Structure 1
Amino acid sequence: MAVAKFTPALLIAEPRNSRKSARIAARRLSIEGLDPPLQIAWTILAFQENRRELFHLTQNGNLHIGVYPPLGRVRVAAPRRLDDEHVRLAVIQRLPWIKERREQLRSAERQSEREMVTGESHYVWGVRRRMKVIERQGRAHFEVDSERLLLYVPAGTTAERRRELLDRWYREQLRQAIPPLIAKWEPILKVSVPRWTIRRMKTKWGSCNRETGHIWLNVELAKKHPDCLEYIVVHEMTHHLERKHGPRFTKLMDRFIPNLRSLRDQLNNAPLAQESWE
């Protein structure tokens, strides 16, 4: 039988603006009786942040449980009004889900660090393409040719520089794809997105600021099927209508994206990029 008990952890203080969480204390929740034992970081929050993890579990009031890549680190975020017993019961109740998601993350296919050489595989809009490196003078750039991804670079270009070029190319793909999606969904959702940004994020596909209308999208979305990008764009825009991932949010998403569960599975089951995770 699984037994849960708390042990003290470091006290931390990270002041942030009023729209985000201020972490004021941390505890460690140990789940014994599992193989391997489960250590869960529990952070007490002064202000509840609207987080969206790769695997966002549920919320009970303002209690959030997230399972993070690459190996399934579990984090519970709760306001001060919830005591140890509330958190312990919430975690034990969701242990089957936590174990399932941890196993899913640990067994997920991962790309090794890209060496950026001929014959290497890269994903572009959900399609696996073989890279061909063509060394020649002139502007470095990428082209898609049938099932291949062509990289034109001057001789002697380092692997690091080639990775930088690929990152820029992925961003450009998104810059071309995102505006039509926002223009399509603004009149449907009756919301406005005055600004959007592409960034590299380790635990989220996207995020938004309801007050400013600004949304952020993960550069890794350029590797996924275009429908996955649309799903994330609509997800973040829907947060302009409903802040939390509650029943109303789910109902809205089911109306706008009927196959959202299939798209979510595509995102979460796709190969993970090589990253230096914390």
Structure 2
Amino acid sequence: MNKYILKLTSPFDKTIVCIHHKNIKNIHLKVFRDLKVVLSVPNGVTDEWITEFLISKSSWIEKQLQKYKQSSGYNNLIDIKSGTSTQLLGKDCRIIKKISEKNYVLEDEKNIIVYANKMSKKHQQVLEYWWREKAYKTYQNEMNELYNKIFKKYGIEEPSLYVRKMKTLWGSCTPSKNKITINEYLLKANIRCIQYVILHELTHLIYPYHNNEFYTFLTIHMPDWSERKKQLDFEVVQGI
């Protein structure tokens, strides 16, 4: 079973759920803000079990779809239009485009205001540059603090930080190059989720694999890491 058609009430009648069989231990059901529904299950789980599980979760799925439907265009940072909504550090905000001779960005509690000349693509470029710079500064500050607090005493050199768009990962670590890469869209998450991702990747400098030692170390230094991960997985969508 690669797809399952879940019958919900209008306007979500015959919602398609994408089924992914993976080498995992737990079930992961996600409803994304683009109205995509994905269920990841361990290899060997039967179609009958999947059907019963999805039916039992249909009310929750419909509730999430309805919430995201009411905020259409949410989290869109590609081909932005004035009024587009997104998240920034865990808060909902709206992108406003304004005409100006100078190119710059201002932000307040509810808005990201992008000033640029009349060329529509220029607004996109100005926003992307500002977003990347803000992401880098935010991640670097958090990484510096975690490194000095936890990792410096292990004699590990502080890694280089890279920020880029990533389609499937929030972050990655290359111990051989002492390099950590963080997804620029992680800036949509609140600071607690950002701290979790950075700590996770820093931990790979000591424990390259996801073994018991890795998770023990993670738990010692961030006892609520699983709650932060859950919040990240279910509330923040990359929108790419």
The answer to whether the Cα contact below 8 Å between 2:4 and 2:19 also exists between their aligned partners in 1 is: no
Which has a greater percent of helix? 2
Counterpart of 1:145 in structure 2 is 108
1:213 to 166, 173, 178: 178
The answer to whether the Cα contact below 8 Å between 1:126 and 1:226 also exists between their aligned partners in 2 is: yes
Counterpart of 2:125 in structure 1 is 164
The answer to whether the Cα contact below 8 Å between 1:141 and 1:153 also exists between their aligned partners in 2 is: yes
- Taking a change above 3 Å as real, the CA distance of residues 115 and 93 of structure 1, as seen in their structure-2 partners, is closer
Counterpart of 2:220 in structure 1 is 255
SS in 2 for 1:231: helix
AA at the equivalent of 2:137: Q
Say whether residues 1:135 and 2:99 are aligned partners: yes
- Taking a change above 3 Å as real, the CA distance of residues 184 and 40 of structure 1, as seen in their structure-2 partners, is closer
Distance 1:127 1:253 in 2: 26
Task: Report the Cα offset of residue 270 of structure 1.
Answer: 2.3
* 1:6-64: CA deviation from partner (whole Å, max 9, x where unpaired): xxxxxxxxxxxxxxxxxxxxxxxxx59x946987689xxxxxxxxxxxxx9359xxxxx
The answer to whether the Cα contact below 8 Å between 1:171 and 1:222 also exists between their aligned partners in 2 is: no
Counterpart of 1:270 in structure 2 is 235
Say whether residues 1:92 and 2:21 are aligned partners: no
Alpha carbon RMSD of aligned pairs, Å? 3.9
- Taking a change above 3 Å as real, the CA distance of residues 148 and 170 of structure 1, as seen in their structure-2 partners, is same
Counterpart of 1:117 in structure 2 is 81
Distance 1:183 1:141 in 2: 27
The answer to whether the Cα contact below 8 Å between 1:238 and 1:253 also exists between their aligned partners in 2 is: yes
Task: Report the Cα offset of residue 259 of structure 1.
Answer: 1.6
The answer to whether the Cα contact below 8 Å between 2:75 and 2:85 also exists between their aligned partners in 1 is: no
Instruction: Spell out the pairing of 1:180-199 with structure 2 (5 A cutoff).
Output: 180-187=141-148, 188-189=150-151, 190=154, 191-199=156-164
- Taking a change above 3 Å as real, the CA distance of residues 94 and 168 of structure 1, as seen in their structure-2 partners, is farther
The answer to whether the Cα contact below 8 Å between 2:89 and 2:190 also exists between their aligned partners in 1 is: yes
| Structure 1: stretches of 5+ with no match in the other structure | 1-30, 43-55, 60-66, 76-89
Say whether residues 1:223 and 2:188 are aligned partners: yes
Distance 1:146 1:258 in 2: 30
- Taking a change above 3 Å as real, the CA distance of residues 199 and 260 of structure 1, as seen in their structure-2 partners, is same
| Matched residue count | 208
Task: Report the Cα offset of residue 216 of structure 1.
Answer: 0.6
| Structure 2: stretches of 5+ with no match in the other structure | 6-16, 69-73
SS in 2 for 1:174: helix
AA at the equivalent of 2:130: W
Counterpart of 2:8 in structure 1 is none
Distance 1:57 1:94 in 2: 15
Counterpart of 1:176 in structure 2 is 137
Distance 1:73 1:223 in 2: 23
AA at the equivalent of 1:57: I
- Taking a change above 3 Å as real, the CA distance of residues 176 and 115 of structure 1, as seen in their structure-2 partners, is same
- Taking a change above 3 Å as real, the CA distance of residues 152 and 57 of structure 1, as seen in their structure-2 partners, is same
TM-score, normalised to structure 2, is 0.69
Say whether residues 1:126 and 2:90 are aligned partners: yes
Distance 1:194 1:35 in 2: 44
> Which piece of structure 1 moves more, 202-211 or 141-150?
141-150
TM-score, normalised to structure 1, is 0.61
AA at the equivalent of 2:197: I
Distance 2:233 2:19 in 1: 23
